[in-house]
Amino acid sequence: MIPRVPFTYGQVDNVLRALGFSRHEFETHSKGVRYDHKESGAIIILPLLPKRNRMLDYHYALVRGTLEDFGVADRPVFEATLNKAS
């Protein structure tokens, strides 16, 4: 079984957009979604999965790491925002 976090792709999508990311769906070899944060230059690319699905742990780590690396939100702020969105 692939480890998942307690948050859904929809919850993370809502928080990213609340943090100022724009969302663009695309289809090249597979369907995906790209989040762009113009102020920081951060880009997050994820597969397009149902919003109700719990997020895979490595996708969550990618999102959280990008937010921290680009100074958009540190881990406590991101997780607190997600918990409020639950």
Q: What is the pTM of this model?
A: 0.92
pLDDT of residue 2: 87
Along the 86 residues of the chain, how does pLDDT read in single tens digits? 889 999 999 999 999 999 999 999 999 889 999 999 999 999 999 999 999 999 999 999 999 999 999 999 998 989 888 888 76
Q: Using CA atoms, how far apart are residues 48 and 27, in angstroms rounded to an integer?
A: 9
**Domain extents in the chain:** 4-85
pLDDT at 86: 67
Cβ contacts of residue 58 below 8 Å, gap of 6+? none
Write the CATH number of the domain with boundaries 4-85: 3.30.920.30
CB 2 within 8 A of CB 56: yes
Question: 85 vs 2, 48, 53, 55, 76, CA distance in Å?
Answer: 24, 20, 15, 14, 14
